[in-house]
């Protein structure tokens, strides 16, 4: 089986962290892995049991073609929709078997270009981290929702948790990329909320971890709002610093409107931090309003300030939410994710015979496919569809 993923070990974004976890799950079973642009060199290398090819996209295509020639009809997990066209062509040529595509968030919330859309339609399964992403993708690309599988992410960051109700001051934390192209993160509203909360008499401080070309604008805004004394821009940090900051904070705040899942919320909740997030995208499937934190409409900084005041003034509520957040994060376990992915991998590999020459080294006869595509769940999704009947809820 191939896992096709890009920049898996180069970057720290949510997509890359997901692919690293998946790589870890699949390489334990001896799966092949091809990654792109992870090494500046030209020669492929082994990294954590996976094959990394350096260079550009063409190098990736050539490497994939060569590897699939060696192991024809192998199943594949396509780590991003941008890789679909290549996979589709190889499948048409009989060089790849069944494949599933992984959906992360924004890239799946709309209509794909024709080649990718055709490839998605031919996929055995589309795997999303949230129902929201699955629904949007299937709707815009004309794919039967029954083909989707929901496998939420799992938290891999371990942080010491200590029950610590806010005393004199409520310590807030935001972790985000401050890039102008990510204008949906809502940090400016967090700053407005901090100012409003302070005006209402709530003692609050804010640590912001992350960097980017939008940082000067946000710092300037904090200056205009006269809150630079209580807002600290930390910039990029190490994982250890992040863990330390998490363990010393009270509330995680990131009202981003375009999170497919929001692994950052999970990490914060694992540290016992209630989250204040935006009521958008896949986030409501991670943070439950009124239980693990609060969800606000994008831009509603007054409501955010109200919830900050509430958490500051009600220690029991804070402790209840902190505990609920921690339990919620624990339910998104690596074990559950691993089980779901392993089950999917087995399904992908149980392929029908495809009408192409079988290479002598891989002369296998595959069992017939199941009569109905099962729907996998990550273990903590609300089941809404009735079984065995025409599934109105999953579209026409």
Partner 1 sequence: MVEALEHRGPDGHGARAWAFGPATVCLGHTRLSIIDLSPAGRQPMTEKSGRYWITFNGEIYNYRELHKILDAGDGCFASATDTEVILQAYARWSVEAFGLLRGMFAFGLLDTSARRVILVRDPLGIKPLYYAMRNGSLWFASEVQALLATGKVDRRLDLDGVGQYLGQGWSTSCAISDVKTLPPGHMLTGDFSTGAFRWSLSRYSEELSPPAPSAKPERNESTAHLLHLLGQSMKCHLVADVPVGLFLSGGIDSSALLHLMRREGCGTPRTFTVVFPESKFSEREYAGRIAAQYETDHTEVELAESDILALLPDAFASMDQPTMDGINTYVISRAVSSTGIKVALSGLGGDELFAGYPSFRRARLAKLAGRTPQTLRAALSRIGRLVSPGSPAEKVWDLLGSDCTPFSAYTVSRRLFSPQEAAQLMPDYPPAPKIPNTQYCGDEINEVSRLELRGYMSDLLLRDTDFMSMASSLEVRVPFVDNVIVGHVLGLPGSWKLSRVMPKPLLVEAMRGALPDYIWDRPKMGFVFPFHHWMRSHLRAEVQSILLDGRLARNAGLNPPAVRKVWEGFLNGRLRWTKPWSLYVLLRWLESRQIAA
Residues that bind partner 1 (CB under 8 A): 109-110, 132, 135-136, 139-140, 183, 257-258, 279-281, 284, 289-290, 297, 299, 306, 310, 314, 316-317, 382, 384, 389, 392-393, 395-396
Tokens 């999303």 label which residue? Answer: 128
Which token pair is 276?
A: 């204040």
Nearer Cβ to partner 1 (38/259): 259
DSSP H helices, 314-368, are 315-331, 334-349
Least separation, in Å, of the C-beta of 149 and partner 1?
A: 18
User: How far apart (Å, rounded) are the C-alpha atoms in residues 251 and 57?
Assistant: 41
Least separation, in Å, of the C-beta of 264 and partner 1?
A: 20
**Closest by CA position to 129, among listed 106, 145, 105:** 105
Nearer Cβ to partner 1 (61/225): 225
Least separation, in Å, of the C-beta of 196 and partner 1?
A: 13
User: How far apart (Å, rounded) are the C-alpha atoms in residues 50 and 38?
Assistant: 11
Least separation, in Å, of the C-beta of 307 and partner 1?
A: 9
| β partners of residue 2 | 32, 76
Q: DSSP state, 356? A: S
Q: DSSP state, 112? A: P
Nearer Cβ to partner 1 (115/315): 315
Nearer Cβ to partner 1 (34/277): 277
DSSP element (H, E) containing 34: strand 32-36
**Closest by CA position to 396, among listed 78, 51, 143:** 143
Least separation, in Å, of the C-beta of 109 and partner 1?
A: 6
Over the range 166-188, which residues count as b (16 or more CB within 10 Å of their CB) and which as e? Answer: beeebbbbbbbbbeeebeebbbb
User: How far apart (Å, rounded) are the C-alpha atoms in residues 108 and 120?
Assistant: 11
Tokens 């020639």 label which residue? Answer: 69
Least separation, in Å, of the C-beta of 194 and partner 1?
A: 19
Nearer Cβ to partner 1 (93/163): 163
Nearer Cβ to partner 1 (17/257): 257
Nearer Cβ to partner 1 (118/314): 314
Nearer Cβ to partner 1 (9/139): 139
Nearer Cβ to partner 1 (156/279): 279
**Closest by CA position to 231, among listed 242, 246, 239, 220:** 220
* Strands across the sheet containing 32-36: 45-47, 50-53, 32-36, 2-6, 74-78, 96-103, 125-128, 148-150
Radius of gyration of the chain (CA): 23
């Amino acid at each position: 089986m191939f896992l096709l993923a890009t920049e898996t070990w180069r970057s720290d974004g949510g997509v890359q962290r997901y692919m690293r976890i998946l790589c870890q799950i699949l390489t334990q079973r001896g799966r092949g892995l091809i990654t792109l642009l992870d090494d500046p060199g030209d020669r492929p290398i082994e990294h954590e049991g996976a094959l990394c090819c350096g260079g550009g996209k063409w190098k990736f295509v050539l490497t994939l073609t060569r590897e699939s020639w060696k192991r024809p009809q192998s199943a594949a997990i396509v780590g991003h929709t941008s890789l679909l066209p290549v996979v589709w062509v190889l499948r048409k040529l009989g060089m790849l078997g069944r494949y599933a595509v992984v959906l992360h968030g924004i890239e799946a919330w709309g209509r794909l270009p024709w080649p990718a859309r055709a490839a998605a339609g031919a996929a055995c399964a589309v795997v999303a981290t949230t129902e929201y992403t699955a629904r949007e993708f299937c709707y815009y690309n004309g794919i039967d929702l029954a083909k989707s599988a929901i496998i939420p992410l799992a938290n891999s960051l371990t942080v010491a948790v200590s029950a610590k109700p806010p005393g004199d001051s409520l310590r807030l934390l935001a972790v985000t990329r401050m890039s102008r192209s990510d204008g949906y993160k809502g940090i400016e509203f967090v700053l407005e909320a901090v100012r409003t909360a302070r005006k209402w008499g709530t003692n609050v401080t804010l640590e912001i971890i992350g960097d980017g070309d939008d940082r000067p604008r946000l710092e300037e805004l904090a200056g205009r709002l006269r809150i630079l004394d209580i807002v600290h821009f930390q910039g990029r940090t190490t994982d250890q610093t992040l863990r330390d900051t998490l363990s010393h904070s009270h509330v995680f705040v990131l009202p981003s409107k375009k999170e497919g899942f929001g692994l950052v919320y999970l990490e914060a909740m694992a540290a016992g931090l209630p989250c204040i997030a935006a009521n958008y995208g896949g986030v409501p499937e991670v943070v439950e309003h009124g239980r693990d934190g609060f969800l606000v409409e994008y831009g509603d900084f007054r409501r955010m300030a109200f919830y900050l005041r509430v958490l500051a003034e009600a220690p029991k509520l804070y402790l209840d939410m902190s505990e609920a957040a921690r339990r919620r994060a624990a339910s998104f376990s690596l074990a559950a994710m691993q089980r779901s992915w392993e089950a999917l991998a087995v399904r992908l590999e149980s392929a029908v015979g495809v009408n192409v020459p079988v290479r002598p080294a891989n002369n296998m006869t595959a069992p017939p496919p199941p009569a109905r595509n099962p729907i996998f769940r990550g273990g903590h999704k609300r089941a809404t569809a009735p079984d065995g009947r025409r599934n109105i809820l999953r579209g026409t």
